[in-house]
Amino acid sequence: MFEIFVVIIALSAFLSYLNAKFLELPETIGVMILSIIVSLLFAASYFIDKAYFNQVTIFARSIDFKTILFDFLLGVLLFAGAIHVNLKVLLKEKLTVIIYATFGVLVSTFMIGTIFYYAASLIGLEISFLYCLVFGALISPTDPVAVLALLKKAGAPKHMEIKIIGESLFNDGVGIVVFLSILSLASMMHEFNISHISAEFGKEAGGGFIIGFILGHLGRACIKSVNKEAIIAVHISLAIVLGGYILCNMLHVSGAIAMVVAGLIIGNSLQTSNLSEDLKNHMTVFWRVLDEIFNAVLFVLMGIIMITLDFNIYHLLLGIVSIFLVILSRYATILLSNLFLKKTHRANKNEALILTWAGLRGGISIALALSLPEGEVKDIIVYATYVVVVFSIIAQGLTVKQLVIKLLK
């Protein structure tokens, strides 16, 4: 496992260098495009040396994407994203963020799952309705890792930027909870029970928030007490993230939500407290560096996953249909969310289009798909998820800046 991670780190560094030197694209997009090209070159080796191709495929399939993301990368990336968010600005949009991250995810899950079920049937693929809802749950959350860097370069208004970033940070935890709840029903073949999902959601999301709140205030107090020891403060923050995430897993609560809450609290103390500039600089630089490096690692992993997929025209067709399905459901949930918001917080037509197009999907969706039980249903869902994520990151990511400029002149 360690050797595999070292190889991925080295490859991500090399691809980041190539992107910065030649492509000059946003790093997440450039690295993913290059990793897909590398995957295609390896795939082409099938026609030259089948033995070598089989070795590459075995290596790619030996990468435990789910473990790397959920047990290591996710907590770090969510904390690193949250620590740079202005909590005061976020609180001004708290109702919008809560509605998008909860109501939006739930509505999107059932909307996507239902239409996906009928679309799969028309293509000739048999998937149970509950597993279609599982797909809806894993593809509904927008990805903060993919969104954060792009929005800053797009020049979106601050109120819109904070809505998208805030939603993306929180709806990962919500989406994971909904995914696990529906998957447990689908795996056990129980009848659909909304109370089961509600109970699981309350336990994991509520528990994650409480743990994150405690860890955030504990970390803030410890960091304040070592104001003149910047290195120790950074060490404390890293311990909060790695240790706190393991604690959440042991308590069966949402580590994703806990890390977001802890990151917001500690980040707010860096912006408002009388801490030394040396400490603030160390904290900011450390978490920004980790964010950039692990971002590159994540998108290299997403490119490598392509090697493990067996080509199937029907799976590809369902994936293409899913692209339109995900975008339309995103737009519909934003319009429906307006019903619960004050007029001053509602998204107008142009803002709704931007919020829709900026709702990128990323590595968390792929990791959840890869965690499904082995079988044909998993193959179909992984394929559809990968097609949606690749389109989302490359097509939407490369054009969101132009859309912002055109609609908000």
Structural tokens at position 362: 């990323």
Whether 33 and 322 have beta carbons less than 8 Å apart is answered as: no
Q: HSE (CB half, 13 Å, CA atoms) of 83?
A: 31
- Extents of the domains making up the chain: 2-407
The C-alpha atoms of residue 120 and residue 117 are separated, in whole angstroms, by: 5
List average pLDDT for each run of 10 residues in the chain, which is 409 residues long: 83 94 88 91 85 85 83 89 89 92 94 97 94 96 72 73 87 86 76 65 88 97 94 96 95 92 95 88 94 88 86 95 97 95 90 92 88 91 95 91 84
The C-alpha atoms of residue 52 and residue 61 are separated, in whole angstroms, by: 14
Residue 380 confidence (pLDDT): 96
**What's the one-letter identity of residue 82?**
A
How many residues make up the chain in this entry? Answer: 409
Query: 21: part of which helix (H) or strand (E)?
Result: none
Nearest to 225 by CA among 211, 236, 241: 236
The C-alpha atoms of residue 42 and residue 372 are separated, in whole angstroms, by: 26
Whether 153 and 26 have beta carbons less than 8 Å apart is answered as: yes
The C-alpha atoms of residue 323 and residue 317 are separated, in whole angstroms, by: 10
Residue 232 confidence (pLDDT): 96
Structurally, at CATH architecture level, domain 2-407 sits in Up-down Bundle (1.20)
Query: 86: part of which helix (H) or strand (E)?
Result: none
The C-alpha atoms of residue 380 and residue 139 are separated, in whole angstroms, by: 14
The C-alpha atoms of residue 134 and residue 372 are separated, in whole angstroms, by: 9
The C-alpha atoms of residue 408 and residue 401 are separated, in whole angstroms, by: 11
**Between vectors from CA 352 to CA 347 and to CA 355, what angle results, nearest 5°?**
110
Whether 240 and 215 have beta carbons less than 8 Å apart is answered as: yes
DSSP string, 298-352: HHHHHHHGGGGPPP-HHHHHHHHHHHHHHHHHHHHHHHHHGGGS-GGGS--HHHH
Residue 240 confidence (pLDDT): 96
Nearest to 129 by CA among 139, 115, 140, 143: 115
Structural tokens at position 23: 């492509």
The C-alpha atoms of residue 336 and residue 103 are separated, in whole angstroms, by: 9
